Amino acid sequence: MVDVTSLTRSTATSESPLTRLALIGLALGFLVVFLLLPLVAVFNEALRNGLGTLVTALQEPDALAAIRLTLLVAAIAVPLNVVFGIAAAWAIAKFEFRGKAFLITLIDLPFSVSPVISGLVYVLLFGAGSVLGPWLKAHGIEILFAVPGIVLATIFVTFPFVARELIPLMQEQGTADEEAALSLGANGWQTFWRVTLPNIRWGLLYGVLLCNARAMGEFGAVSVVSGHIRGLTNTMPLHIEILYNEYNFAGAFAVASLLAGLALVTLILKTAIELRYAGQLSAARGH
């Protein structure tokens, strides 16, 4: 993209054409080798034996079950994280309270901790050897090696995405709009739906897309709690791993291409939002 400022920039800060070419070439080369090539390879591998094989591989019952489970988990985890994320961001941005810095650090925990550990936490919490384990068993509640465990692990891992996106946005917007709405007679509910939410909608959508991408792609934490029961507790990433370990490359890459496709759609949507609402996004950020 050509930037006006780069054209008018003074000669003092610009590099010689050769240096520029080298730097741009380096950055592009890096992107191609490490990001673009693997992606192309996935699709290439998936389509190696033609579109027919790909479709057949995806219609296999276990693959279908994995796709359904992944969509189900995302459909539960993402809305919950939207609610938690808004609540957390609201509390942090609009109120002063003790332990605020600690709460912000806590929200970042899923980013800093390895997903495997996030999964292990749930095993320790709900597993047969834990305090809760026998009680859960006695009441016939299955969490580990079942859908609830997978959902919990996914929520844990994807928690920061929405909150992290909203906190700086809401902090910057301050509380004046809400105060104005209240002084005009709106109650808390009306203020939230008619003022706060529209103010953060683009940031929220952004967070939701990222959260969704991660929820569908999460491997580590889910792997620990899922139990890998085919057709029951395998999500798409787990299913891909199993197929791969069984040397079923056609199947593995077929599912992988679908997962990568979902991620690409997410990215395209995100870019589309940025282009379409660039003005409002920047207004929301810099108003």
CB of 280 to other proteins, least distance (A): 8
Q: Which is nearer to other proteins, 94 or 228 (CB)?
A: 94
Q: Which of 68, 137, 194, 230 binds other proteins (CB under 8 A)?
A: 194
| CA torsion through residues 75, 76, 81, 83, sign | positive
Which range in 73-81, 99-107, 130-138, 172-180 contacts other proteins by CB under 8 A?
172-180
- Shorter beta-carbon distance to other proteins: residue 191 or 226: 191
Q: CB–CB of 208/269 below 8 Å?
A: no
- Confirm or reject binding of residue 181 to other proteins (CB under 8 A): yes
Interacting stretch for other proteins, rule CB under 8 A, among 29-37, 121-129, 146-154, 177-185? 177-185
CB of 207 to other proteins, least distance (A): 18
Phi-psi region of 2 (alpha: psi -120 to 50; beta: other; left: phi over 0): beta
Helix axes 249-276 and 50-59, enclosed angle (nearest 10): 90
CA 276 to chain centre: 22
The reply to whether 35 sits near other proteins by the rule CB under 8 A is: no
Note every long-range contact of 73-77, with CB atoms under 8 Å and residues 24 or more positions apart, other chains counting.
Answer: 73/147, 73/150, 73/151, 73/154, 73/215, 73/216, 73/222, 73/235, 74/154, 74/212, 74/215, 74/216, 76/151, 77/151, 77/154, 77/155, 77/158, 77/211, 77/215
Give the number of residues in contact with other proteins, rule: CB under 8 A.
Answer: 21
Contact 227, 238 (CB under 8 A): no
Chosen residue from 184, 229, 272, 278 binding other proteins by CB under 8 A: 184
One of 5, 11, 16, 187 touching other proteins (CB under 8 A) = 187
Q: Among residue numbers 215 through 244, which ones bind other proteins (CB under 8 A)?
A: none
User: Is residue 278 part of the contact set for other proteins (CB under 8 A)?
Assistant: no
Kindly tell me which of 178 and 218 has the beta carbon lying closer to other proteins.
Answer: 178
Structure tokens at 30: 């890096």
Single residue of 137, 230, 276, 287 touching other proteins by CB under 8 A: 287
Residue 28 as a binder of other proteins (CB under 8 A): the answer is: no
Binding residue (CB under 8 A) for other proteins from 108, 190, 246, 267: 190
Please report the DSSP string for 161-211 in residue order: HHHHHHHHHHHHH-SHHHHHHHHTT--HHHHIIIIIHHHHHHHHHHHHHHH
Instruction: Report the residue from 136, 147, 186, 205 that binds other proteins according to the rule CB under 8 A.
Output: 186
Two structure tokens written together for 140: 């016939």
Rule CB under 8 A: is residue 284 a binding residue for other proteins?
yes
86 binds other proteins (CB under 8 A): no
Q: By CB under 8 A, is residue 199 in contact with other proteins?
A: yes
Residues forming contacts to other proteins in the complex (CB under 8 A) are: 176-177, 179-187, 190, 194-195, 198-199, 279-280, 283-284, 287
